[in-house]
Amino acid sequence: MISINEVEYSYDGSEQKALSGVSLEIRDGEFLAIVGHNGSGKSTLAKMLNALLLPDSGTVTVFGMDTADEELTLEIRKRVGIVFQNPDNQIVTTVVEEDVGFGPENLGVPTAEIIERVHNALEAVGMTDYAKSAPHMLSGGQKQRIAIAGVLAIRPDVLVLDEATAMLDPIGRKAVLDIAQSMNKQLGITVVMITQYMDEAVLADRVVVMNGGRIAMEGTPQEIFRRGEELREMRLDVPVMVELRDKLTAAGLMPESNALTVDGMAEELCPLLLKI
Ligand code: ADP
Ligand code: MG
């Protein structure tokens, strides 16, 4: 579990606070989405989760370890791995399998175990066939899958995806989302998914909305996406399917519903359309 308590943070030389009064508990095994407009503090918060940044005041505790304690930094980074937005910035070697093994190698994992971890991690992201490939030859989506494999090879308890789908085409996006969901559901890894896409946030157990360095809303996707007006004031959208649902309901064409996704809408609408 990660516990964030009254965290304040400003970057050097900046008068504006990047984080202000941020408190949040991230529960073991949950799939948490963090949304918010550009500059709302999402990446700053992500970097607090594995001691890449330390609070000016307040505390971040990762499985009982205070991130401000430098002796615990390595242990914290073994437990919490982050995948960032730009796949090209995360590639460090010229062969995929070396890249995936880079993390465990730095942590002093024995060679035989590195080989096994790399194999398993590539399998988990569906990239086994590319083990010997050159990363720069891969598509953006494939590179992000390699970056995720690199984090998985560290065997983290928490996977943080900081807009990891933002630079991908729809196929690459879907592959990364599917992997994040199966990591969470099948391996029980806690996933923190930072995203600008509301149709990705609906997949989460819980959504946190950031605005101006603060947590503005927190709740289930059902709860959050009923508050369309407030979201729009923070320059955020509601998911397309929620917009459609609300318009059809307002027009009397569909009963009140909790549908958030294409599948959910299809389930609601098919019986109605069959009656026509
Ligand atoms: P988000 O990820 O939601 O776009 P960030 O956490 O990157 O937001 O940024 C929060 C605030 O901190 C913004 O006002 C941004 O301009 C500022 N900021 C981010 N990174 C830096 C940095 N390296 N130096 C100075 N200011 C920064
Ligand atoms: Mg960011």
pLDDT tens-digit map of 127-172? 999 999 999 999 999 999 999 999 999 999 999 999 999 888 888 8
Say if residues 172 and 125 touch (Cβ distance below 8 Å): no
Kindly give the pairing relationship between strand 80-83 and strand 158-162: parallel
The residue contributing the CA closest to ligand 1 atom 25 is 11
Confidence at residue 87, expressed as pLDDT on a 0 to 100 scale: 84
Q: At which residue do the structure tokens 């995203």 appear?
A: 195
Confidence at residue 3, expressed as pLDDT on a 0 to 100 scale: 98
Rounded to 5 degrees, what are φ and ψ at 46? -55, -45
Which residues, 6+ apart, have CB-to-CB distance to 176 below 8 Å?
141, 144, 145, 148, 161, 164, 165, 168
Half-sphere exposure of 177 (CA within 13 A, CB side): 20
237 domain residue, yes or no:
no
Rounded to 5 degrees, what are φ and ψ at 160? -105, 125
Q: What's the whole-number mean pLDDT along residues 239-253?
A: 92
* The token pair that represents 152 in the structure block: 């998985």
**Which protein residues have a CB closer than 5 Å to ligand 2 (ion)?**
42-43
The whole-model pTM stands at 0.92
Give 65 Cα–ligand 1 centroid separation in angstroms: 25
Helix (H) / strand (E) containing 257 = none
Rounded to 5 degrees, what are φ and ψ at 253? -95, -5
Domain containing 41 equals 2-221
273 domain residue, yes or no:
no
Task: Output 32 or 240, whichever has higher pLDDT.
Answer: 32
Tens digit of pLDDT for each residue in 83-103?
A: 999 888 888 899 999 999 999
Give 16 Cα–ligand 1 centroid separation in angstroms: 10
Kindly state if the Cβ of 42 falls inside 6 Å of ligand 1: yes
Question: Ligand 1: which atom is nearest the Cα of residue 36?
Answer: 3
Question: In angstroms, rounded to a whole number, what is the distance separating the alpha carbons of residues 117 and 105?
Answer: 11
Tens digit of pLDDT for each residue in 166-205?
A: 888 888 889 889 999 999 999 999 999 999 889 899 999 9
Closest CA to 177 of 155, 190, 161: 161
75 domain residue, yes or no:
yes
Q: The domain spanning residue 17 has which CATH number?
A: 3.40.50.300
Tens digit of pLDDT for each residue in 47-59?
A: 999 999 999 999 9
Kindly state if the Cβ of 43 falls inside 6 Å of ligand 1: yes
* The token pair that represents 25 in the structure block: 């508990």
CA 263 from chain centre, in angstroms, equals: 22
67 domain residue, yes or no:
yes
Mean pLDDT of the chain, nearest integer: 94
Confidence at residue 42, expressed as pLDDT on a 0 to 100 scale: 97
260 domain residue, yes or no:
no
* The token pair that represents 7 in the structure block: 């965290």
* Confidence class for position 13, pLDDT limits 50, 70, 90: confident
- With a cut of 90, say whether residue 275 has pLDDT above it: no
- Number of separate domains in the chain: 1
Q: What's the whole-number mean pLDDT along residues 16-35?
A: 97
253 domain residue, yes or no:
no
125 domain residue, yes or no:
yes
